[in-house]
């Protein structure tokens, strides 16, 4: 599509501009429902700007995803012919490209929540658009409750009332309207052409990737021109499918079909790859876009006539009872299936091939998707609500659009108490306020603050950055995979110098120390850093270069944030200069066999910092503690409502063993995952003396008091309820 074409198109929402403007003028809030691609995200803000709603304040538009906020802001700046960061800007975690003069500001829902902490009346905004509400992201759901209160308070306490608009691509307008005091609802008819739905004769949930590839190829061979959109569940599947499509096509006799261009689309795609799907292909080339769920409602690809719907999506589920997080491939909802099919009818009549049966659609597919708030850990969300310090705040009875489970809320309160973020009466502490100010999850923010006290901030930042990186090792999930050889030959680059054993040997040296995964990650980070972040060094240790560069970027951002918070926050703490520190350690870890060539003093100092790092991590990961069973190397988690038995994941680097072959009694872990059975991933030994005070604290919890927060009097007169659960497991006393 060229620039000239774009001006010709009048997006559907523009036709309702007058009505929307009038409704916003006359009401505090309004709901706008419109088919994906009708212009809600890019046009609504501009319509309001043109109607002078930005004269008393800025217009904010929230997005559930960072990439959404950035690309849309770019697009709107382009449409308005202004430089990004002036009239149109964006703000996302770690990055703010807006000024006080910015009129339209795209920001993630998480960033808007953070802004509420600085100014809980959000005075700088005249209009807030909660966009993509159908996604029901956790942060958007929290904003529903927070902004509903804010509408009232802005009326009472400010001379500039706030206008709130909720937009959604699905037909859930009534529900939003009821929640926001029966506000008006606009339905913007889309430009949707009829779409033929073709069901499969059998359900292809077990082999959905091959079924999708075969269907796409068949479409290409048999159907008239028009792009194909295939829905898969994740990056790995997408890459596999594209590989297969390309090899099948190249194996076909020439002239048997026209050219086919297979393109991936998922959130972790680098930006230059993302824009490729917005560019028109060469004349006569058919495109097949293989995408995650992002193409269902958040990204619109023009030219799609055929949709291949596998009927599945990858979704995170959290079980508060055990603290277990799982990422499962689950059936989509009927609402989702309708959305996916709709993607085929944007430019002309289309077809949707469902790789499941009509019987499944009608009988077994859930009608709607569970909102994230009902299937995720609520620790950050509850810390957030607590830090708003609202007068009548009882998180257990907060006005949620859809309330999360009571058990998940209680679990979050317990964790926050153990992290010292709230006191026994549920009131936020100074620690809690500092934690809320750091844009990382509560476990990490607590560990970072502890690290500051113990003099190992630099180490904890490095470990956090490495943990945040999905692919650290070139061969798989962990050092175990590299040592076993892994899928990609230990990450050997093609220009190898013949040291086939290289990566495994270097890594083996580190693994042999059995210091646990967290320390191993730290050592690997430092080894790579000290070798100038080079490609060769990454290879030497079996590291994935792209993953490591990602870790480097995260580390840089984290360091910036920690420095900033330190300036604003606790100025009293001893300042430790990262540069000096790094310089000191650069010498030490010059080579990894390192500690051998250290002087006794250096070795003692190395031991000290590693010890301090484990201590700081333990304090932060208080809800991720596990204790070995008395006589064998299985572990049971401690800190959740109910202990979960779990094994060390095969990707772990190994732990020290005593004479009986037993691993340490206490460990911290990064993830409790359920694949074939429950596993602990990324495990590090810790000491009983760090753990026992935390366990004692867990045993003293009274959840009802924690939920209330400010109203101390009531809690006192209401009497103390005995703690409902006792996280300390007496079963262990004997060991």
Residue ranges in contact with ligand CDP by CB under 6 A: 11, 34, 36-43, 71-72, 75, 278, 300, 302
Strand bridging mode 666-674 / 645-648:
unpaired
User: Measured from the CB of residue 41, what is the shortest distance to Mg ion in angstroms?
Assistant: 3
User: Measured from the CB of residue 89, what is the shortest distance to Mg ion in angstroms?
Assistant: 18
Q: Which residue is nearest to Mg ion (CB)?
A: 41
The answer for residues whose C-beta is within 8 angstroms of residue 619's C-beta and 6 or more apart is 446, 447, 450, 690, 694
Given Mg ion, ligand CDP, none, residue 83, with its beta carbon under 5 to 8 Å by kind, binds none
**Contact between 43 and Mg ion (CB under 5 A)?**
no
| First CA to last CA distance, the chain | 70
> Based on CB atoms, which residue is closest to ligand CDP, 343 or 504?
343
Q: Which of 312, 723, 668 is nearest to 519 (CA)?
A: 668
> Based on CB atoms, which residue is closest to ligand CDP, 134 or 163?
134
User: Measured from the CB of residue 78, what is the shortest distance to ligand CDP in angstroms?
Assistant: 9
Exposure b/e, 393-403, CB count within 10 A at least 16 = b: bbbbebebbee
> Based on CB atoms, which residue is closest to ligand CDP, 200 or 294?
294
> Based on CB atoms, which residue is closest to ligand CDP, 341 or 379?
341
Given ligand CDP, Mg ion, none, residue 589, with its beta carbon under 5 to 8 Å by kind, binds none
Three-state SS for 468?
coil
> Based on CB atoms, which residue is closest to ligand CDP, 81 or 498?
81
- Where does 569-643 have alpha helices with state H? 578-588, 600-620
The answer for residues whose C-beta is within 8 angstroms of residue 658's C-beta and 6 or more apart is none
> Based on CB atoms, which residue is closest to ligand CDP, 38 or 291?
38
Q: Which of 62, 73, 725, 12 is nearest to 346 (CA)?
A: 12
> Based on CB atoms, which residue is closest to Mg ion, 74 or 535?
74
Q: Which of 232, 413, 199 is nearest to 313 (CA)?
A: 232
> Based on CB atoms, which residue is closest to ligand CDP, 72 or 308?
72
Strands (E), 613-718: 625-628, 635-638, 645-648, 666-674, 678-686
User: Measured from the CB of residue 104, what is the shortest distance to ligand CDP in angstroms?
Assistant: 13
User: Measured from the CB of residue 297, what is the shortest distance to Mg ion in angstroms?
Assistant: 7
> Based on CB atoms, which residue is closest to ligand CDP, 5 or 577?
5
Figure out which of the listed residues 12, 34, 39, 41 binds Mg ion, where binding follows CB under 5 A: 41
| Calpha distance 401→46 (Å, rounded) | 28
User: Order of strands, edge to edge, in the sheet holding 304-309?
Assistant: 195-199, 350-354, 304-309, 227-231, 286-291, 260-265
| Calpha distance 726→735 (Å, rounded) | 19
Exposure b/e, 82-114, CB count within 10 A at least 16 = b: eebeebbbbbbbeeebbeeebbbbbbbbbbbbb
User: Measured from the CB of residue 71, what is the shortest distance to Mg ion in angstroms?
Assistant: 11
Give me the phi and psi of 248, to 5 degrees please: -60, -45
User: Measured from the CB of residue 15, what is the shortest distance to ligand CDP in angstroms?
Assistant: 13
Asked whether the beta carbons of 707 and 428 are under 8 A apart, the reply is: no
Q: What number of other Cβ atoms are within 10 A of residue 573's Cβ?
A: 13
Tokens of 267: 């959130």
Q: Which of 555, 561, 560 is nearest to 465 (CA)?
A: 555
> Based on CB atoms, which residue is closest to ligand CDP, 304 or 408?
304
User: Measured from the CB of residue 170, what is the shortest distance to Mg ion in angstroms?
Assistant: 12
User: Measured from the CB of residue 75, what is the shortest distance to Mg ion in angstroms?
Assistant: 11
User: Measured from the CB of residue 132, what is the shortest distance to Mg ion in angstroms?
Assistant: 6
Given Mg ion, ligand CDP, none, residue 322, with its beta carbon under 5 to 8 Å by kind, binds none
How many helices and strands in the chain, by DSSP H and E? 28, 21
> Based on CB atoms, which residue is closest to ligand CDP, 297 or 464?
297
Q: Which of 236, 254, 355, 237 is nearest to 306 (CA)?
A: 355
Given ligand CDP, Mg ion, none, residue 34, with its beta carbon under 5 to 8 Å by kind, binds ligand CDP
User: Measured from the CB of residue 268, what is the shortest distance to ligand CDP in angstroms?
Assistant: 18
Size of the residue set binding Mg ion (CB under 5 A)? 2
Binding site for Mg ion (CB under 5 A): 40-41
């Amino acid at each position: 599509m060229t620039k000239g074409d774009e001006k010709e198109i009048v997006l559907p929402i523009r036709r309702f501009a007058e009505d929307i403007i009038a409704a916003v003028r006359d009401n505090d809030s309004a709901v706008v429902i419109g088919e994906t691609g009708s212009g809600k995200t890019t046009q609504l803000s501009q319509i309001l700007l043109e109607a002078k709603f930005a004269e008393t304040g800025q217009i904010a538009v929230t997005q559930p995803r960072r990439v959404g906020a950035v690309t849309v802001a770019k697009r709107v700046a382009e449409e308005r012919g202004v430089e990004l960061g002036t009239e149109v800007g964006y703000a996302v975690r770690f990055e703010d490209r807006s000024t006080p003069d910015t009129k339209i500001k795209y920001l993630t829902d998480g960033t808007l929540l953070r802004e509420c902490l600085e100014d809980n009346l959000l005075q700088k905004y005249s209009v807030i658009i909660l966009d993509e509400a159908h996604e029901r992201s956790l942060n958007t759901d929290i904003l529903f409750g927070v902004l509903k209160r804010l509408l009232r308070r802005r009326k009472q306490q400010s001379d500039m009332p706030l206008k709130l608009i909720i937009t959604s691509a699905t037909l859930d307008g009534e529900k939003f309207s009821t929640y926001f005091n029966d506000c008006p609802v606009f339905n913007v008819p889309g430009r949707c052409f009829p779409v033929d739905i073709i069901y499969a004769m059998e359900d292809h949930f077990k082999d959905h990737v091959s079924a999708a590839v075969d269907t796409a190829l068949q479409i290409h061979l048999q159907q008239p021109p028009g792009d194909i959109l295939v829905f898969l569940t994740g990056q790995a599947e997408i890459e596999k499918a594209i590989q297969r499509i390309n090899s099948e096509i190249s194996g076909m006799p020439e002239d048997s079909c026209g050219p086919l261009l297979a393109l991936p689309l998922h959130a972790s795609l680098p930006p230059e790859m993302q824009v490729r799907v917005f560019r028109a292909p060469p004349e006569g080339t058919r495109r097949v876009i293989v995408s995650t769920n992002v193409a269902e409602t958040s990204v619109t690809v023009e030219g799609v006539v055929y949709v291949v719907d596998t009927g599945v999506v990858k979704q995170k589920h959290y079980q508060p009872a055990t603290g277990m997080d799982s990422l499962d491939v689950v059936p989509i909802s009927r609402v989702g299936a309708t959305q996916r099919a709709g993607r085929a009818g944007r430019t002309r009549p289309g077809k949707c091939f469902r790789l499941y049966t009509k019987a499944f659609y009608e009988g077994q597919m859930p009608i709607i998707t569970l909102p994230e708030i009902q299937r995720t850990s609520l620790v950050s969300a509850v810390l957030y609500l607590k830090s708003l310090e609202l007068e009548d705040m009882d998180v257990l009875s907060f006005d949620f659009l859809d309330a999360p489970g009571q058990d998940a809320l209680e679990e979050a309160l317990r964790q926050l108490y153990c992290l010292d973020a709230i006191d026994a009466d549920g009131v936020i502490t100074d620690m809690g306020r500092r934690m809320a100010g750091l844009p990382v999850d509560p476990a990490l923010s607590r560990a970072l603050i502890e690290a500051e006290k113990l003099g190992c901030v630099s180490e904890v930042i490095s470990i956090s950055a490495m943990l945040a990186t999905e692919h650290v090792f070139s061969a798989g999930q962990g050092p175990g995979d590299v040592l076993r050889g892994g899928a990609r030959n230990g990450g050997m680059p093609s220009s190898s110098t013949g040291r086939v054993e290289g990566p495994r040997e270097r890594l083996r040296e580190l693994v042999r120390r059995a210091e646990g995964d967290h320390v191993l990650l730290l050592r690997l980070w430092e080894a790579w850093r000290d070798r100038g972040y080079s490609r060769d060094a990454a290879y030497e240790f079996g590291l994935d270069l792209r993953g490591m560069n990602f870790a480097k970027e995260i580390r840089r951002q984290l360091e910036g944030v920690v420095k900033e918070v330190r300036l604003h926050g606790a100025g009293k703490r001893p300042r430790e200069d990262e540069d000096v520190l790094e310089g000191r350690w650069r010498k030490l870890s010059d080579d990894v066999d390192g500690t051998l060539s250290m002087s006794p003093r250096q070795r003692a100092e190395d031991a000290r910092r590693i010890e301090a790092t484990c201590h700081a991590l333990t304090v932060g990961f208080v809800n991720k503690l596990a204790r070995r069973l008395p006589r064998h190397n299985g572990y049971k988690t401690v800190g959740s409502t109910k202990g979960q038995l779990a094994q060390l994941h095969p990707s772990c680097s190994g732990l020290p063993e005593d004479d009986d072959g037993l691993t340490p009694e206490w460990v911290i872990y990064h993830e409790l995952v359920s694949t074939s059975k429950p596993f602990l991933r990324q495990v590090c030994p810790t000491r009983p003396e760090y753990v026992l005070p935390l366990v004692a604290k867990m045993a003293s919890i009274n959840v009802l008091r924690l939920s209330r927060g400010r109203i101390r009097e009531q809690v006192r007169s209401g009497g103390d309820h005995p703690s409902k659960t006792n996280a300390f497991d007496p079963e262990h006393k004997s060991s």
